[in-house]
Amino acid sequence: MELLHLSALLAACLLLLTAGVMLYRRRRRSRALAAAFPDAWLAIIRQNLPPYSKLSPEVQQQVRGYTQEFLYDKNFEGCGGLTLNDEIRVTIAAQASLLLLNRKVRCYPNLYSVLVYPSAYVAKTETDQESVRLGESWRTGAVVLAWDSARHGAANFADGRNLVIHEFAHQLDQEDGASDGTPILAGRSSYTAWARVLSREYERLRRRVAKGKPSVIDAYGASHPAEFFAVASEAFFEKPRQLGSKHPELYAELRKFYQVDPQTWV
């Protein structure tokens, strides 16, 4: 009987200890996110992310807030000899925040680590072959990026190519457990229009690529519906006027999902 009482007491103490640790962590996180945004970080965003200056003060505050949350919650790892610094972390986090604006969503809840290489890296494929890559998004909680491409994508925000937007669009796509080009949408009724428009535009791109015709949407998007969503997101943020003119229904669906209109940023 005494052993049962002792076991129950130990279990209760363990529960209290766990609750105390969780409460401490929540309070520490709340204090960190409530702290003033460092001037040095803001200087990096202004220097490396041209659209920031075109955003309203309210949306700029969202960028800073998501950037701060991202940097607190996510673990960065330098790979291939890269030494991490604030410019790398802030530039990546600020770009990733653009996909979350106005949507009142958690900051990539399934993501734990960002692995950053200095440039293109070699990875093994499923068939154990080597493949040169600039980035990857894993459903297991990691994003891999080549820093030189991530930095260029931020600085040149008009060429339709942005590695961070591409890989973090994959993260959004994968939040429901599938990498199929359909992220979690606002409501059940949204899925019908999304499927109709994006499947039609995907097939349209496939036909253009097969005929060697150019498109505002990168040809890589013709390889899979998940890649189509990722490259369409790149075009949406970086070539909004061209995408809106050439593919108005696609632009409208992406604007409805992302809750921003990048045409006002140009």
Pairing of β 75-78 and β 113-117: parallel
CA count, 13 A, side-chain hemisphere, 127: 2
Under DSSP, is residue 78 helix (H, G, I), strand (E, B) or coil?
strand
> Which tens digits make up the pLDDT trace of 210-255?
999 999 999 999 999 999 999 999 999 999 999 999 999 999 999 9
The total number of residues shown for the chain amounts to: 266
Can you say whether the dihedral through the CA atoms of 161, 167, 173, 178 is positive or negative?
Answer: positive
State yes or no: pLDDT of 16 exceeds 50: yes
- Can you name the residues that pair with 121 across neighbouring β-strands? 133
Contact 56, 261 (CB under 8 A): no
Chain position carrying tokens 């809750």: 259
What are the DSSP E strand ranges found in the chain?
Answer: 75-78, 113-117, 121-124, 130-133, 135-138, 142-146
pLDDT score at 22:
47
The H-or-E segment that residue 96 falls in is helix 86-97
Confidence of residue 31 (pLDDT cuts 50, 70, 90): low
State yes or no: pLDDT of 27 exceeds 80: no
State yes or no: pLDDT of 184 exceeds 50: yes
Phi first, then psi, for residue 50 (nearest 5°) are -55, -40
Contact 240, 266 (CB under 8 A): yes
pLDDT score at 33:
57
Pairing of β 142-146 and β 113-117: parallel
pLDDT score at 104:
86
pLDDT score at 1:
52
The domains found in the chain, sorted by start residue, are 37-157 (1.10.472.150), 180-266 (3.40.390.10)
Chain position carrying tokens 């995408």: 243
Phi first, then psi, for residue 93 (nearest 5°) are -65, -40
Radius of gyration of the chain (CA): 21
The H-or-E segment that residue 133 falls in is strand 130-133
